[in-house]
């Protein structure tokens, strides 16, 4: 059994009625995807909340406890879901449409014997490219070699450019989630004013406390919508402990803050 505490905090100057419920999620096309509305899956059947709704005063807050009870007969593997906090405006004489605002915290629950399965990934080829409108970007092929889903972030810096120029750091475009065994590109968009190069690119990718670095010499193509051949980088690694993250999500009229952990079950 897994127990977590969630804080629901309203940023609204008016009272708010907040509905709370778990719903299904999945990893599709290298992204964490939420199912429509209150769609259920195996994981949502394991989740119990001590409140299904809250009435918060202006700028009020409250604590909610979530319990995940994994069924004894559950098969090994990772499950995905979300706990939503939702505020809805009801139709009235002047408004015929219901408006729904919701924010949530993602759930990753792994079922299997022993401790938490390892998380790991490898950075493959790096390539320099330009988007369809000519903005320079660097693409890195990343392979999830561990047994947990990964949410990838990080930074890229450029050095040894024309005239000994340096640039960055540039943030990795967020939103890439890799299931175990998957491979997908991670993108870093760069400043349009950068000369073509050559540059020494230093990429650091992070998922939780697992960190990998890669270095390669790259030159950006001159034409928009084109890409140079990939280069195998020099790589490094760092890892420590289990994955723990804190998420702060801001929504319309609500601030839903929760400690998000990659949950393990024994």
Give 154-212 as a DSSP string. Answer: EEEEEES-GGG--EEEEEPPS--EE-TT-EEEEEEE--TT-----EEEEEEEEETTEEE
Percent of the chain with pLDDT over 90: 64
Q: What is the 3-state composition of the chain as percent helix, strand, coil, each rounded to the nearest 5?
A: 5, 60, 40
Res 218 pLDDT > 80? yes
Q: Do domains 2-116+243-265 and 121-239 have the same CATH topology?
A: yes
| 229 CB-contact burial (10 Å; exposed 0-12 / middle 13-18 / buried 19+) | exposed
Name which of 95-99, 228-232, 241-245 the model is least confident about: 241-245
Pick the CATH number of 121-239 from 2.40.50.140, 1.10.238.10, 2.60.40.10, 4.10.520.10: 2.60.40.10
- Residue 245 has a pLDDT of 32
Peptide bond into 169 cis (omega under 30): yes
Domain ranges of the chain: 2-116+243-265, 121-239
- Residue 73 has a pLDDT of 81
Distance CA 117, CA 78 (A): 10
Res 252 pLDDT > 50? no
Stated length of the chain: 266
pLDDT digits (tens, 9 = 90+) for 86-145: 998 776 666 667 778 889 999 998 887 766 778 999 999 999 999 999 999 999 999 999
- Residue 260 has a pLDDT of 34
209's tokens: 């406390």
Res 201 pLDDT > 80? yes
- Residue 266 has a pLDDT of 34
- Of the pLDDT bands very low, low, confident and very high (cuts 50, 70, 90), residue 22 is very high
Distance CA 129, CA 189 (A): 10
CATH fold of the domain at 2-116+243-265: Immunoglobulin-like (2.60.40)
Res 255 pLDDT > 50? no
Name which of 140-144, 199-203, 246-250 the model is least confident about: 246-250
For the segment 170-195, the average pLDDT, to the nearest whole number, is: 93
The sign of the CA dihedral 211, 215, 221, 227 is: negative
Res 35 pLDDT > 90? yes
- Of the pLDDT bands very low, low, confident and very high (cuts 50, 70, 90), residue 248 is very low
């Amino acid at each position: 059994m897994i127990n977590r505490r969630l804080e629901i905090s309203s940023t609204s100057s008016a009272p708010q009625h907040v509905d709370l419920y778990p719903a299904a999620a999945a990893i599709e096309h290298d992204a964490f995807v939420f199912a429509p509305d209150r769609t259920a899956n195996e994981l949502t059947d394991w989740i119990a909340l001590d409140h299904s709704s809250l009435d918060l005063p202006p700028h009020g807050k409250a604590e909610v406890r979530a319990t995940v009870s994994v069924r004894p007969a559950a098969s090994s593997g990772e499950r995905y879901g979300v706990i939503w906090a939702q505020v809805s405006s009801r139709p009235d004489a002047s408004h015929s449409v219901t408006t729904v605002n919701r924010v949530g915290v993602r759930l990753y629950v792994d079922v299997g014997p022993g401790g938490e399965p390892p998380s790991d990934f490898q950075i493959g080829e790096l390539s320099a490219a330009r988007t369809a409108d000519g903005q320079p970007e660097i693409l890195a092929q990343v392979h999830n070699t561990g047994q947990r889903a990964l949410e990838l972030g990080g930074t890229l810096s450029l050095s040894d450019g024309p005239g000994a120029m340096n640039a960055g750091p540039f943030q990795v475009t967020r939103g890439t989630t890799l299931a175990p065994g998957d491979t997908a590109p991670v993108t870093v968009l760069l400043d349009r004013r950068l000369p073509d190069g050559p540059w020494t690119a230093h990429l650091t990718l992070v998922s939780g406390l697992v960190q990998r670095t890669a270095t390669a010499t790259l030159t950006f193509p001159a034409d928009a919508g084109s890409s140079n051949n990939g280069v195998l980088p020099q790589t490094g690694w760092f890892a420590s402990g289990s994955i723990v993250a804190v998420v702060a999500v801001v929504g319309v009229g609500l601030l839903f803050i929760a400690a998000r952990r990659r949950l393990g079950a024994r």
